[in-house]
Amino acid sequence: MAPHANDNEGNATGLSMSQTPSNTFTVASPNVAYTDDTITSKYTYRTTAIDSSNGEFVATPKETVYDFKTERIVGKVGIIANRQKLAWDTREGQRSANYYGSLVMASTTKLGVDSKTGKDINIPLHDAMPMVHPNDLVIGGWDISSLKMAASMDRAQVLEPTLKSMVRKQMAAMQPLPSIYYPDFIAANQGDRADNIIPGDKACMEHVEHIRKDIRDFKAKNSLDKVIIMWTANTERYGDIISGVNDTAANLMSSIEKGHTEIAPSTVFAVACIKENAPFINGSPQNTFVPGCIELAEQHGAFIGGDDFKSGQTKMKSALVDFLINAGIKLTSIASYNHLGNNDGKNLSSQKQFRSKEISKSNVVDDMVAANSVLYKEGEHPDHTVVIKYMPAVGDNKRALDEYYAEIFMGGHQTISLFNVCEDSLLASPLIIDLVLIAELMTRIQWRNHGEQEWKSFHSVLSVLSYMLKAPMTPSGTPVVNALGKQRSALVNIMRACVGLEPENDMTLEHKLF
Catalytic positions, please? 308, 357, 398, 470
Q: Supply angle C-alpha 309, 96, 12, rounded to 5.
A: 40
- CA–CA dist 184, 442 (Å, integer): 35
- CA–CA dist 180, 266 (Å, integer): 9
- CA–CA dist 240, 262 (Å, integer): 7
Beta bridge partners of 124: 108
Contact indicator for 472, 482 with CB cutoff of 8 Å: yes
- Measured from the Cβ of residue 513, the count of other Cβ atoms closer than 10 Å reads 6
Q: Does residue 174 come out as left (phi exceeding 0), alpha (psi in the -120 to 50 range) or beta?
A: beta
Contact indicator for 474, 501 with CB cutoff of 8 Å: no
Beta-strand pair 32-34/397-407: unpaired
Contact indicator for 86, 163 with CB cutoff of 8 Å: yes
Contact indicator for 88, 163 with CB cutoff of 8 Å: yes
CB-count burial class (<10 Å; 0-12, 13-18, 19+) for 190: buried
Contact indicator for 347, 6 with CB cutoff of 8 Å: yes
From the list 508, 513, 514, the residue with the least C-alpha distance to 118 is: 508
Q: How far is CA 219 from the centre of its chain?
A: 23
- CA–CA dist 407, 510 (Å, integer): 38
